[in-house]
């Protein structure tokens, strides 16, 4: 009795030891964090949720043939529950882990460099989707009692920091003595490739400012091209996430197609591909079921009843995106191990072509054609079209061969939009800047008359960080809807940029 009471009352150490967590560690190797975060990033932005079931409809590479609620933008309303995850998950599943890596590897540029670049790649999709976002004060959660309500920073300031971070990361990688090795699923740890990715991403972000701040755009293009290591110079340099296709980690598109058959090619994309007899068409898409000699797209933004007739008369996405077996009419797909393109050499060459055509970043109009042809060729190769004759025939067509002036700039960004297939987010971002292709309009049953210029803030933020959200809206000068324009979407200047009526039904 007394002994029992005594035992109960003291022996605090024994009790405390019982509470030592046997399931999860308090510290882990940074390599294991990087592998997980990179997989999560690729799965988020060029995977199933944000890309395939969201922005592919908005960017009109694809259209919905059943339950066309995303395609009508209805399910893209934050209240419908899909888009909040696009905001919430990157912070918690990716960015916090990159922060942990950067904190632990401050003296190891071979590890911190890739983490900084991935972090910037993530943040760039986030800000391009929502506008102003928590950035400088974000990821402050582990300081208990403070920092639970991060402020939303102006996109202008975020972009300025992107350039600084990428510049520093690129420079630091020159002195990397260590690498992530095989824990890096993108480049297998090669610091030189990461350096090129940093500079290429900087080029993409620089060009995004071309309307709103042409001076910064030009300076940053020039800096990106001149940075140590340079930008992507061939398809070997591309940032590619190689999905193992082992049944556990399959390409998210193929996972989606294993149980869904509600996706068809958009006629916005297919009309352009068909018009130029694009050699990529048989890879991007499958022939229609009703006529195996035909490739056809369907209109975006229909209702279920009006979409249904297109079920067999329009093209499904290509077999390289489908799993070997699935629930529908497609058999023999190879998509489980299909890599996901995070940023391609083709895009870099298109950006260089556009910069040249605009005469910025130290490039001149005369260089545009070389970059343009290299870009299209790289895209063809990237998608498995290697027949040089086919490519040169394609390039020689009047509609494709690069023209001068604004017509040429239109051609460059249209071809870039085609090449960005499977990267719906970046395709949408490019379109918002350039309004090309100008056939991209809301479908007849879309809930608003214009293509969304942004997504609404997360409903989670409204319940946990409401005052900062409302400050952000004031800061952006709009309401939380699809039409409020972000910083770089405000001052259209030179062609091919639209002025009015772009993307309006």
> Which of 241/487 has CB closer to other proteins?
241
Beta carbon nearer to other proteins, 213 or 461: 461
Question: What are the DSSP calls for 241-284, one per residue?
Answer: E----SSSS--HHHHHHTT---EEEBHHHHHHHHHTT-TTHHHH
Q: Report yes or no: 215 and 501 within 8 Å, Cβ to Cβ.
A: no
Q: What CA–CA distance (Å, rounded) separates 220 from 114?
A: 20
Chain residues 207-246 in contact with other proteins, contact rule CB under 8 A:
244, 246
Q: Does 442 sit near other proteins (CB under 8 A)? A: no
Nearest C-alpha neighbor of 37 from the set 129, 136, 132, 105: 105
Kindly tell me which of 167 and 481 has the beta carbon lying closer to other proteins: 481
Q: Per rule CB under 8 A, is residue 22 in the interface with other proteins?
A: yes
* Residues 170-189 close enough to bind other proteins by CB under 8 A: 182-183, 185
Hey, which residues does 310 pair with through a beta bridge? none
Q: Minimum Å distance from CB 77 to other proteins?
A: 7
Which of 178, 234, 294, 325 is in the footprint of other proteins by CB under 8 A?
Answer: 325
* Nearer to other proteins among residue 271 and residue 303 (C-beta): 303
Q: Which of the residues 37 through 76 are near other proteins (CB under 8 A)?
A: 37, 39-40, 65-66, 74
Residue choice 106, 277, 404, 464 for contact with other proteins (CB under 8 A)? 464
H or E element: which one contains 42? helix 30-45
For the CB of residue 322, give the shortest distance to other proteins in the complex, in Å.
11
Residues 334-373, interacting with other proteins (CB under 8 A): none
Per rule CB under 8 A, is residue 148 in the interface with other proteins?
yes
Q: Rounded to an integer, what distance in angstroms lies between the CA atom of residue 496 and that of residue 492? A: 9
Calpha distance 115→49 (Å, rounded) = 23
Q: Which of 53, 99, 193, 453 binds other proteins (CB under 8 A)?
A: 99
Segment interacting with other proteins (CB under 8 A) among 206-214, 326-334, 359-367, 433-441: 326-334
**CA gap 109, 51 in Å, rounded:** 31
Query: How many angstroms from the chain centroid is the CA of residue 40?
Result: 13
What single-letter DSSP state applies at residue 317? B
Site size toward other proteins (CB under 8 A) is 101
The least distance separating other proteins from the CB of residue 441, rounded to whole angstroms, comes to: 18
CB 326 within 8 A of CB 253: no
474 binds other proteins (CB under 8 A): no
Residue 62 dihedral angles phi and psi, to the nearest 5°: -125, 165
Site for other proteins, residues 257 to 316, rule: CB under 8 A: 258-261, 289, 303-306, 308, 311-312
Contacts of 242 (CB under 8 A, 6+ apart): 185, 337, 339
* Beta carbons within 10 angstroms of residue 333's beta carbon: 23
Determine, following the binding rule CB under 8 A, whether residue 386 of this chain makes contact with other proteins: no
């Amino acid at each position: 009795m007394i002994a029992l009471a005594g035992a109960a009352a003291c022996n605090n150490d024994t009790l405390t030891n019982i509470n030592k967590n046997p399931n999860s560690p308090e510290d882990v190797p940074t390599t294991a964090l990087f592998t997980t975060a990179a997989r999560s990033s690729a799965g988020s932005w060029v995977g199933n949720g944000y890309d395939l079931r969201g922005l592919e409809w908005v960017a009109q590479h694809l259209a919905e043939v059943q339950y066309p609620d995303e395609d009508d933008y209805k399910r893209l309303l934050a209240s419908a529950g899909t888009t909040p995850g696009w905001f919430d998950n990157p912070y918690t599943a990716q960015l916090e882990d990159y922060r942990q890596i950067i904190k632990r590897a401050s003296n190891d540029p071979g590890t911190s460099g890739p983490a900084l670049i991935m972090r910037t790649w993530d943040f760039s999709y986030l800000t391009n989707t929502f506008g102003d976002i928590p950035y400088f004060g974000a990821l402050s959660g582990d300081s208990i009692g403070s920092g639970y309500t991060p402020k939303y920073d102006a996109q202008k300031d975020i972009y300025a920091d992107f350039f600084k971070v990428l510049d520093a990361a690129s420079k630091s990688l020159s002195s990397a003595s260590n690498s992530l090795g095989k824990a890096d699923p993108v480049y297998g740890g090669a610091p030189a490739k990461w350096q090129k990715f940093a500079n290429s991403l900087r080029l993409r972000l620089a060009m995004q400012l071309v309307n709103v701040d042409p001076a910064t755009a030009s300076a940053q293009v020039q800096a990106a091209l001149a940075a140590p290591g340079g930008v992507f110079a061939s398809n070997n340099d591309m940032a590619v996430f190689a999905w193992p296709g082992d049944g556990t980690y399959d390409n998210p598109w193929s996972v989606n197609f294993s149980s869904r058959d509600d996706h068809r090619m958009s006629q916005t994309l297919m009309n352009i591909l068909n018009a130029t007899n694009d050699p990529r068409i048989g890879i991007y898409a499958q022939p229609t079921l009703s006529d195996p000699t035909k490739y056809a797209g369907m209109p975006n933004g229909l209702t279920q009843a009006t979409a249904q007739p297109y079920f067999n008369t329009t093209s499904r996405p290509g077999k390289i995106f489908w799993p070997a077996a699935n629930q529908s009419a497609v058999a023999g797909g190879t998509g489980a191990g299909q890599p996901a393109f995070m940023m391609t050499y083709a895009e870099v060459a298109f950006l260089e072509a556009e910069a040249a055509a605009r005469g910025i970043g130290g490039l001149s109009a005369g260089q545009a054609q070389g970059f343009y042809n290299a870009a299209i060729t790289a895209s063809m190769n990237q998608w498995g079209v290697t027949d040089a004759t086919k490519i040169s025939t394609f390039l020689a067509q009047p509609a494709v061969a690069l023209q001068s002036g604004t017509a040429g700039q239109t051609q460059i960004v249209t071809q870039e939009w085609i090449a960005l297939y499977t990267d719906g987010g970046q395709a949408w971002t490019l379109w918002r800047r350039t309004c090309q292709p100008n056939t991209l309009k809301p479908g007849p049953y879309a809930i608003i008359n214009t293509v969304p210029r942004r997504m609404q803030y997360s409903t989670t933020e409204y319940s946990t960080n409401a005052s900062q959200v409302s400050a952000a809206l004031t800061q952006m000068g709009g309401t939380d809807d699809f039409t409020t324009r972000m910083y770089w979407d405000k001052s259209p200047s030179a062609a091919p940029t639209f002025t009015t009526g772009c993307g309006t039904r």
